[in-house]
């Protein structure tokens, strides 16, 4: 009967322990299982604990093969399961695929700190998430891959360097087009295609891109410029250009049109100006190309090519290692010096002098004889120091000590001066005797 009760007790304790054990887990959700190139997938990673998190969870942005990623700030949340509330954190990513291959959002390791049940101090845990696979749908056949753009909205600013439609041969007009695209990243905005036009020479400038993000969304701009050089007189029409974008959620195609513009080109009496301006624009285009090539060149870190940066890091680590070794040696040397000092006669005398400042006669006497023991006298007594040093003032000090020892009044006031004089004389005589004993008659 006793064994049966013991068995049920063990089972009950085991069950209670399991019921109150800490729970930690993650879940990964995606809002779409199949998307087009450029269409964002929202990936939500949730981490939960049965207690609470003692530090923030912020793994930052991650690399996903074949896609651009945008990470948004973590959001605190909670859920209730089986009558218990669990604290959680949600990490939200938007993933923008740019290749036709299947998209794999990888498993990641998230480090969290959470106290156990009944505790209060955070314990570090590593939670591994599951990977998610998203199918990439092909671009509709009637679209060019080079001009494919997925977005939730688009606005265009079309600016000209002149408002007049009358120009002369040799004149240059600059056109700047800025597209603001919502729901995408700048790398996925395709460049504009500038068609060649009779009577014009075109010189596209470098484009610039920027990314903007809010707490829950992202948008981008792409700014492109082209210089038109008018080379022939007459009417020259720059045709309209249609820009398409695809709203994936609505499965609907939208378009915006850059209006056409006609210029009346009048003759220029200075016939050589066209060739001169063409040479200048060609040189400017080459300079911009060199700048772009340099910026697209090898990756630099803090302005240094990575091999040079690596060399600097290795040299810095070497210097750091030398400093660590030197500091450890200095600490070890200081520690040995401190140990030697605490075992020396000087330390014992310093302790005795400190006791003279206090009110405890017993402590003063104890430290006195501890010092006399380190001094190297024939006998560790005040009488022996008196004879060895010849300081007569110690006679009065000896009387004070004997009087204290006889009546044990607890109060002893000694004068530190004769003790210091006696010590110095004794040590000088000791050094002198050692020097004479080492002398050899030649």
Question: Within 10 A of 107 (CB to CB), how many other CB atoms are there?
Answer: 12
What pLDDT score does 409 carry? 61
Is the CB of residue 51 less than 8 Å from the CB of residue 82? no
Question: Do 89 and 40 share a domain, yes or no?
Answer: yes
Among 225-229, 325-329, 345-349, name the one with the lowest average pLDDT: 345-349
Question: Do 278 and 149 share a domain, yes or no?
Answer: yes
Is the CB of residue 376 less than 8 Å from the CB of residue 412? no
253 part of a folded domain: yes
Name the domain count of the chain. Answer: 4
Question: Do 287 and 180 share a domain, yes or no?
Answer: yes
314 part of a folded domain: yes
Interval 355-389: pLDDT, tens:
778 777 778 778 787 887 877 787 888 787 778 77
Question: Do 379 and 334 share a domain, yes or no?
Answer: no
Question: Do 68 and 130 share a domain, yes or no?
Answer: yes
What pLDDT score does 13 carry? 43
435 part of a folded domain: no
Question: Do 351 and 282 share a domain, yes or no?
Answer: no
Would you list the DSSP string of 205-274? Answer: PPPEEEEEE-SS-EEEEEEEEEEEEE-S-EEEEE--EEEEEEETTTTEEEEEEEPPEEEEEEP-S-TTHH
Is the CB of residue 38 less than 8 Å from the CB of residue 97? yes
Question: Do 426 and 403 share a domain, yes or no?
Answer: yes
Question: Do 289 and 163 share a domain, yes or no?
Answer: yes
Question: Do 258 and 216 share a domain, yes or no?
Answer: yes
4 part of a folded domain: no
pTM exceeding the 0.75 threshold for the entire prediction: no
Give the C-alpha separation, 296 to 407, whole Å.
Answer: 95
6 part of a folded domain: no
Both tokens of 83, joined, read 């009558």
Q: How confident is the model at residue 16 (pLDDT cuts 50, 70, 90)?
A: very low
pLDDT of residue 3 exceeding 80, the answer is: no
Nearest to 285 by CA among 356, 198, 201: 201
76 part of a folded domain: yes
Question: Do 86 and 201 share a domain, yes or no?
Answer: no
Average pLDDT, the chain: 82
User: Strand (E) positions, 248-386?
Assistant: 252-258, 261-266, 300-301, 304-305
Give the C-alpha separation, 382 to 134, whole Å.
Answer: 94
Per-residue pLDDT, averaged over 219-247, amounts to: 92
Question: Within 10 A of 169 (CB to CB), how many other CB atoms are there?
Answer: 21
Question: Do 73 and 133 share a domain, yes or no?
Answer: yes
Question: How do strand 132-137 and strand 34-36 relate by DSSP bridges?
Answer: parallel
What pLDDT score does 265 carry? 92
Nearest to 247 by CA among 168, 169, 152: 152
Q: Which of 77, 104, 137 is the last residue of a domain?
A: 137
Q: Cα angle vertex 368, ends 365, 371, to 5°?
A: 150
The CATH number of whichever domain residue 63 belongs to comes to 2.60.40
Residue 333 phi, psi (nearest 5): -65, -45
Q: How many CA atoms lie within 13 A of 107 on its CB side?
A: 7
What pLDDT score does 96 carry? 94
Question: Do 186 and 199 share a domain, yes or no?
Answer: yes
Long-range contacts, 331-340 (Cβ 8 Å, 24+): none
Q: Which of 83, 111, 137 is the last residue of a domain?
A: 137
Q: What is the DSSP letter of 136?
A: E
Length of the chain counted residue by residue: 442
Distance of CA 189 to the CA centre of its chain: 30
Interval 85-117: pLDDT, tens:
999 999 999 999 999 889 999 999 989 999 998
Is the CB of residue 94 less than 8 Å from the CB of residue 70? yes
Task: Name 356's Cβ contacts closer than 8 Å, sequence gap at least 6.
Answer: 364, 414, 416
Q: What percentage of the chain reaches a pLDDT higher than 70?
A: 83
* Domain extent at residue 322: 305-342
Nearest to 345 by CA among 431, 423, 434: 423
439 part of a folded domain: no
8 part of a folded domain: no
Q: Cα angle vertex 119, ends 117, 124, to 5°?
A: 85
Q: Which of 117, 137, 157 is the last residue of a domain?
A: 137
Interval 129-138: pLDDT, tens:
999 999 999 8
pLDDT of residue 405 exceeding 80, the answer is: no
């Amino acid at each position: 009967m006793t064994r049966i009760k013991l068995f049920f007790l063990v089972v009950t304790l085991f069950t209670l322990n399991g019921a109150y054990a800490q729970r930690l887990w993650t879940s990964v959700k995606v809002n779409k299982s199949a998307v087009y190139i450029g269409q964002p997938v929202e990936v939500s990673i949730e981490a939960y604990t049965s207690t609470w998190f003692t530090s923030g969870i912020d793994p930052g942005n991650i690399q996903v093969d074949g896609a651009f990623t945008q990470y948004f700030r973590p959001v605190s949340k909670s859920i209730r399961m089986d009558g218990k509330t669990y604290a959680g954190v949600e990490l939200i990513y938007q993933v923008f695929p740019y290749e036709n291959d299947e998209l794999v959002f990888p498993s990641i390791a998230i480090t969290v700190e959470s106290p156990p049940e009944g505790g209060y101090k955070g314990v570090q845990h590593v939670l591994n998430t599951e990977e998610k696979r998203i199918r990439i749908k092909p671009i509709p056949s009637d679209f060019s891959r080079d001009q494919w753009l997925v977005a939730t909205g688009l606005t265009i600013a079309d600016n000209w360097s002149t408002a007049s439609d009358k120009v002369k041969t040799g004149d240059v007009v600059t056109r700047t087009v800025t597209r603001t695209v919502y729901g995408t990243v700048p790398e996925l905005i395709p460049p504009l295609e500038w068609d060649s036009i009779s009577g014009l020479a075109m010189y596209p400038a470098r484009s610039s891109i920027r990314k903007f993000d809010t707490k829950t969304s992202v948008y981008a701009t792409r700014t492109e410029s082209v210089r038109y050089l008018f080379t022939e007189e007459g009417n020259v029409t720059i045709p309209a250009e249609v820009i398409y974008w695809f709203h994936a959620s609505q499965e609907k195609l939208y378009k915006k049109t850059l209006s056409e513009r006609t210029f009346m080109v009048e003759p220029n009496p200075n016939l050589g100006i066209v060739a001169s301006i063409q040479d200048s624009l060609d040189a400017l285009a080459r300079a911009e190309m060199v700048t772009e090539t340099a910026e697209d060149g090898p990756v630099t870190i803090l302005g240094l090519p990575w091999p040079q940066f690596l060399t600097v890091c290795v040299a810095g680590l070497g210097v750091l290692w030398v400093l660590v070794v030197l500091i450890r040696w200095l600490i070890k040397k200081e520690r040995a010096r401190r140990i030697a000092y605490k075992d020396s006669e000087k330390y014992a005398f310093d302790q005795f002098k400190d006791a003279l400042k206090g009110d405890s006669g017993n402590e003063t006497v104890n430290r006195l004889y501890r010092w006399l023991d380190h001094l190297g006298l024939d006998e560790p007594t005040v009488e022996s120091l008196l004879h060895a040093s010849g300081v007569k003032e110690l006679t009065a000090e000896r009387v004070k000590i004997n009087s204290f020892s006889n009546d044990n009044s607890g109060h002893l006031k000694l004068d530190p001066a004769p003790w210091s004089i006696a010590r110095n004389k004794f040590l000088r005589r000791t050094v002198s005797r050692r020097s004479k004993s080492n002398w050899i008659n030649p």
